[in-house]
Structure formats: structure tokens, C-alpha cells
Amino acid sequence: MPSFRAPRGTRDLLPDVSSGLNRLEGVARSLAGRYGYREMEIPMFEQAAVFERGIGEVTDVVEKELFRLAPRSEEAEAWALRPEATAGIVRAFVQHGMHTWPQPVKLTVVGPMFRYDRPQAGRYRQFWQWDAEAIGDPGPAVDAEIVEMGYRFYLEAGLPHVQVLLNSIGDGACRPAYLEQLTAYFRRHEGELPELERRRLETNPLRLLDSKDPAMTALVAAAPRIGDSLCEACAAHFAAVRAHLDAVGVPYRVEPTLVRGLDYYTRTAFEYYRSGAEGQQQALGGGGRYDGLVELLGGRAAPGIGFALGLDRVLLALEETGSAHAVETPPLAVVVGADPADTVARFRVASLLRAEGLCVRAELAQRKLGRQLETASRDHAHFAVIIGDELTEGHVQLKDLEAGTQRLVPLAELARELARAAKSHHHG
């Protein structure tokens, strides 16, 4: 039994998982580039007030899940590990005066986030997200574009049958009247509310629609619908978002109880689910519009919309659907030697080939040539570069492990020969 283990709710990303995560990050970065989103990085931790003000002090993320860092002295600022990227990106937008850049500013971050959450399948205390934000465009077209980009991510990741759940939660013009209706409704059922939801009724009634408590299911289903209370501007915006999604064939379902879990959302809200796998803990990702967040964090008022897609959830879903596959690149060649003890020669030749940009492994264990070749085949290498007496004349043997052929090649031409074979995938 080992003395030390990874902290509860975290895990080591072993090579097969890490390669899958790297593949998803590659899909995300490729899509971000095609859609005009520029990658940036933000700190792993921020002033706690960035999240308290931006996300909302009565959200689960801030109330129960925020990883707060203990200050070294009473004068030190309060810090917290980032539970999501939007607040940090918006803080950077304000701090660096990005309102002067050509609008909208499209930014993306890929990396780990942290929440002190109850660990369960697909839900970790350190988890990976792809985050994309478009700040500076109030129109519905950019809403549809970012929803479509997220939907396309799942397709290119190899996860079919993903559905978009879509809603509008109104804005400052129409939401207050709706909140009065919602509060009145739940007050009539206050005796049926769990303790947590009774507290939320006093602080943030909209969050009751986002409740994860099964006892709330029937009450939420019968609650007033915000779609019936949208002002003319919000209703027109939502209709235009749907029209744009219809135009590109993104499947979606209007879900009247979808409000998302963070305070900064306005108007468009959306989540991604696998068809047939919907539920409070099954969302693959989601996002929405946050037209008041920039001003809330000290900047000039600017509209924004974004999403956060959980990469861990996608890996788990791919495993469940049998679509997961490790993405390991086998070496193009393994350098082996007739003299088991001459590791210097094998190391030197491998180093020359790597300097030419080739994926090459050197067999540095002092084993017989037969064992070295067995290992090269096990590693699915295409070629074995065999170092023997011919090296004194500037030659090596190049063995095509797939074709079973072997020929003498000048060492000076070896990199060119291997690069040609790698490009053409033809046997040597």
C-alpha cells in the first residue's frame, strides 16, 4: 500500500488518458482558430472577489465549491483557485483595456479548473475545460455561432447524438417581473421546499429552477415559465438565435427550466447533453450570454457570450460509447545495435535523426539484437535502424519491420530516407 496518494477528487493522467485529453485539446484549438478565437492564458488563481462578484455569492460554486487559499498574513489578499475561466477572462479584458481592440474580442482558454465538489464519475476537484468567450457583440448571430462551435466540437471529438438545450432567461427589463411571479409561486409551496431551496428563495429565486434535489422536480415542472414573460427585445433576440441555428442544422430543444448555475447570465443560456443521457450531472458543457459581467468587474459596459466544455466528461462519454481511443504516435524508427554494449553509437545516431525532426527511439538497454528488434516491433515502429560493423564505412542497415525487407543505407542519407518513407507511408 503506497504511503502517498493523489488528493481525493483528483487523479493522475496516465499516458493513455493524457493522450486522449491532448487529442481533445487539439480539436478545441483547431476549432477556435477556424472560428477566429485567439488563445490566451489566465492565472490558476485570482482574487476571491473576482469569483464572488462575477459568479455570485449565493451560487453553489462560491458557497460550497470554491477552493480558497489561506493567506500568509491578515494583510494578504484573499485568493481562490479558478473554478471556471469566464470571470478571469473578463477581468483580463478589463485590466488590459481590450475594449479598445476591434470588437468583438474572441478569446479562448484550455486548461484545468478547480472546485471543491463531491467527487463522482466525471466530476473531479481538478478538471479540464475548453472555454471560449466573445466580448463586444450584442447580436444573436454570435450566440448561434458559439453554440454551433461547441456542437461541432463534439462531432469532431467523435461523440455523436449530442443535443443542445436552449433557453432565454431575459434581462434587466423583463426578469424582475418574472422573479416576482416565481417567488410568489414558490412561497405558496414553501413548506415543500428542502432547506437549501428555502434559503435560495430568499437570496436568488431563479436558482430554484436549477435545483439538483429530486424533491424539486414536480415543483419546478409546474413553475411559471420565463419564456412567457420575456420582453419584446429578449423575445426577438431569442427567436433570431433559433433562426440562425436552424439555418445551419444544429439540433436543439427549448428547455424552459434551463437557467444555468451562475449569476452573470442574461438572455441566451444553453447546455449540451448526449441524447438519452440528460440529467443534472450529465451535462457535457454549456454557457450563455452575460451582458452585465464586464461592468460588474469594473469595466465599461460590454456584452459578452461564452461557453465552458468539460473535457473530462467527453473522455468519459467516449469510453461509455466505445469511441475512446488512445492517441499515441509510434516511433518511425528504433535504433538498435548488433553490439549490445555499444549504446553510445545507438544514442548518437538517434540524436542525429531527432535533430532532423523525426520520431525516433534509441534502444539503450544492453540486450541482444533479437530482443531489441522484438521491442521495436512491439512499439509498432515502421523501421529498425541497425548499427553494425558497416558504421565504420558510414552505413547502417535499414530494416522495414512491416515489409520484412532490409537494405544498406548511407548514414548521411538516412534522415532523408526515413522522412520520405514517413511522408509516403511506402515500404522502404
Per residue in 240-253, pLDDT tens? 999 999 999 999 99
Mean pLDDT of 151-175: 91
Q: Average per-residue pLDDT in the chain?
A: 88
CATH fold for domain 15-174+230-320: BirA Bifunctional Protein; domain 2 (3.30.930)
pLDDT in tens, 193-226: 888 888 888 888 887 887 778 888 888 888 888 8
- The region of weakest confidence among 1-15, 48-62, 126-140 is 48-62
Are 119 and 131 contacting, i.e. CB atoms less than 8 angstroms apart?
no
Q: Rounded to the nearest 5 degrees, what angle is found at the Cα of 184, between the Cα atoms of 183 and 188?
A: 115
Which CATH architecture group holds 333-424?
3-Layer(aba) Sandwich (3.40)
Distance CA 164, CA 298 (A): 32
* Residue 48: Cβ within 10 Å count: 18
Task: Tell me where in the chain the CATH 3.30.930.10 domain(s) lie.
Answer: 15-174+230-320
Is the pLDDT assigned to residue 3 strictly greater than 60? yes
DSSP output for 355-406: HTT--EEE--S---HHHHHHHHHHTT-SEEEEESGGGGGTEEEEEETTTTEE
Interacting residues of 265 by C-beta distance below 8 A, sequence separation 6+:
169, 259, 288, 289, 290
All 3 cell numbers of residue 404?
A: 520484412
Tens digit of each residue's pLDDT (9 = 90 or more) over 381-403: 999 999 999 999 999 999 999 88
Q: What is the pLDDT of residue 324?
A: 65
* C-alpha closest to that of 106 among 129, 128, 84, 137: 137
Q: SS3 of 130, please?
A: strand
**In the prediction, which pLDDT does 428 show?**
41
Alpha carbons within 13 angstroms on the beta-carbon side of residue 300 total 6
| pLDDT band with cut points at 50, 70 and 90 for residue 150 | very high
Helices (H), 322-397: 343-355, 369-378
| Residues listed for the chain | 428
Measured distance CA(428)–CA(420) in Å, rounded: 9
Q: How far apart are the C-alpha atoms of 157 and 165, rounded to whole Å?
A: 19
Q: What pLDDT is stored for residue 421 in this prediction?
A: 81
Stretch 226-239: mean pLDDT: 92
CA atoms of 310 and 272, how far apart (whole Å): 10
Q: What is the pLDDT of residue 301?
A: 92
269-323 pLDDT tens trace: 999 998 776 554 578 999 999 998 999 899 999 999 999 999 999 998 898 877 6
More confident residue, 425 or 17: 17
Q: What per-residue confidence (pLDDT) applies to 426?
A: 47
Residue range 78-92: mean pLDDT, rounded: 93
Indicate where the chain has its CATH 3.40.50.800 domain(s).
333-424
pTM, 2 dp = 0.85
Q: Express as a percent the part of the chain with pLDDT over 70.
A: 92
> What DSSP string runs through 107-133?
EEEEEEEE-----BTTB-SEEEEEEEE
Sign of CA dihedral 101, 103, 105, 106: negative
Q: What is the pLDDT of residue 74?
A: 67
Q: What is the pLDDT of residue 427?
A: 42
Residue 369 has pLDDT above 50, yes or no: yes
DSSP state of 104: S
Q: What is the pLDDT of residues 22-37, one digit of tens each?
A: 999 999 999 999 999 9
User: Could you give the CA distance from residue 197 to residue 211 in angstroms, rounded to a whole number?
Assistant: 8
Q: What is the largest CA-CA distance in the chain?
A: 93
